[in-house]
């Protein structure tokens, strides 16, 4: 199975709890839509854990992008002093920054900003739509558009075309009328009511606001079911 998660925000124990709840195994794939770090105190432990999972695929969110921009700035200031740069990068994470090593920084720098498969597309915040309401080709979107998009989350924004877009970035409790923290799957008007193919949906809003709500969810591509754990 393929499970997609977003905005874990340094909730290390809660993430382990989620892997246990879905009985995540070597034959499964995990996709993270970004914002693994910040807000909680387990940023570096979580990065190292996911980096070492052979069946995990990750993209960067605005928080990883913000960290990388800070890193690139430090490298311009002190291009010859890697020790100073690493010291400052460790201080960036007040919780467990002391555990940060260069290989994790290099790994973050190597990550893409979208994952595109035949039937779905993973981005952090959203993707611009063209005049026909279709998502533009992700390679033509800028990093800023992908990690900071402000419009895509709106329930009024419908995506035409054949792919489902999975994203996070804004807690769904800000969108749902009852303020609850659950994944929102937007079903296509033309899709059969009981269908369970990923292409029956045009977008899946994944961010359950784990660091505020204590709820972390993921969405399974094959079953189209959401799974949750709570602190």
Residues that bind Mn ion (CB under 5 A): 35, 61-62, 169
Q: What is the DSSP string of the chain?
A: -EEEE---TT-HHHHHHHHHHTT--TT-EEEE-S--SSSSS-HHHHHHHHHT-TTEEE---HHHHHHHHHHHHHHHHSTT-HHHHHHHHHHH-TTTGGG--HHHHHHHHH--S-EE-SSEEE-SS---B-TTSBBPPGGGS-HHHHHH-SSTTSTT---BSS-EEEE-SS-GGGTSTT-----EEEE-TTS-TT---GGGEEEEE----HHHH-EEEEEETTT--EEEEE-
Nearer to Mn ion, 2 or 62 (CB): 62
Nearer to Mn ion, 209 or 224 (CB): 209
Nearer to Mn ion, 35 or 96 (CB): 35
CB of 66 to Mn ion, least distance (A): 9
CB of 90 to Mn ion, least distance (A): 22
Residue nearest to Mn ion (CB): 169
CB of 199 to Mn ion, least distance (A): 26
CB of 34 to Mn ion, least distance (A): 6
Nearer to Mn ion, 24 or 219 (CB): 219
């Amino acid at each position: 199975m393929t499970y997609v998660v977003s905005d874990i925000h340094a909730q290390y124990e809660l993430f382990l709890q989620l892997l246990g709840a879905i009985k995540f195994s070597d034959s499964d794939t995990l996709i993270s839509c970004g914002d693994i770090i910040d807000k909680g105190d387990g940023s570096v432990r979580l990065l190292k854990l996911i980096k070492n999972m052979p069946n995990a695929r990750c993209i960067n969110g605005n928080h990883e992008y913000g960290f990388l921009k800070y890193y690139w700035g430090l490298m311009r200031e002190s291009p010859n002093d890697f020790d100073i740069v690493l010291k400052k990068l460790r201080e960036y994470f007040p919780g467990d920054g002391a555990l940060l090593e260069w290989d994790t920084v290099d790994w973050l720098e190597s990550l893409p900003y979208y994952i595109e498969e035949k039937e779905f597309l993973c981005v952090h915040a959203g993707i611009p739509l063209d005049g026909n309401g279709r998502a533009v080709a992700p390679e033509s979107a800028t990093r800023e558009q992908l990690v900071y998009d402000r419009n895509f989350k709106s329930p009024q924004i419908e995506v035409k075309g054949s792919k489902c877009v999975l994203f996070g970035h804004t807690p769904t409790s800000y969108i749902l009328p009852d303020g609850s923290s659950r994944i929102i799957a937007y079903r296509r008007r033309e899709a059969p009511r009981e269908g369970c193919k990923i292409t029956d949906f045009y977008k899946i809003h994944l961010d359950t606001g784990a660091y505020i709500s204590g709820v972390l969810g993921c969405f399974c591509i094959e079953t189209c079911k959401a799974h949750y754990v709570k602190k």
